[in-house]
Structure formats: C-alpha cells, structure tokens
Amino acid sequence: QVQLTESGGGMVQAGESLKLSCTYSQRTFGNFGIGWFRQVPGKQRQFVAAFIWSGDSTYYADSVKGRFTISGDNAKNTVYLQMNNLTPEDTAVYYCNLDPNFLGGRFLGPGATWGRGTGVTVSS
C-alpha cells in the first residue's frame, strides 16, 4: 500500500510563501497522480491542486490559480506545492492524496489514500 507523507507546513504572515512536500512510498500503475487538498474545521475537504505524471498535467482550484504551483520530482518520489502570496483564507490543514480522479480536465473526486496532513497558518 502506498504511503504519503506531507511536510513543510508552518506559520507565516500574509503575503509570504511556503513550500509543501508530499513524499510517496511508491508509484502506482496507470495514470499516477498526487493531489493536494485542504480542510478547515467544520468544513469539507477541498481540492487545491493536482499533478498527474502522464503528460505532466497540472490542475488548480480557481482560488489558488496564479499563486500556487504544483510540481513533481520522480527521482525523489515527491510532489511539491509552492504557495505564494498567502492569505489568511489559505489557513488549513493540507493533505496529499493518491490518484485523484479527473476526466477531460474535470475534477471528479479524490483517490482513496491520504496522508496525515500538515498545518498551514497565515496571519494577517
């Protein structure tokens, strides 16, 4: 079973940057991908970004487009989420997810495997 480990969370001020890492224990077959999601207490977990190795495809939620960049390093078994110009609304626990589902560029839902999450707090 693939294991996912997030790191890189922390506390920053508005306008600053953080880079999250998701390290996976092994690749899966087929259309392997890693997604980032975030969740605040009392709300549903939301899609943030995804990197699909086939074609190096990337997907972003509208709320983070232009500020966040997702990338992958297969040699290090790691997917990164570079987050710039952070706002207090980005405060959440960030989770990585294995093989999120997309069809024709449309996000359908998360995969079944999650990491434990890393916390991000942005103060104003």
Model pLDDT for residues 60-111, shown as the tens digit of each residue: 999 999 999 999 998 999 999 999 999 999 999 999 999 999 888 888 999 9
- Per-residue buried b or exposed e for 65-82, using 16+ beta carbons within 10 Å of the residue's own CB: eeebbbebeeeeebbbbe
Sign of the alpha-carbon dihedral angle for 62, 96, 51, 90: positive
Coil, strand, or helix at residue 54?
helix
**Quick check: 36 and 94 in contact, CB under 8 A?**
yes
What is the average pLDDT across 118-124?
97
Contact in structure between 9 and 92 (CB atoms under 8 Å): no
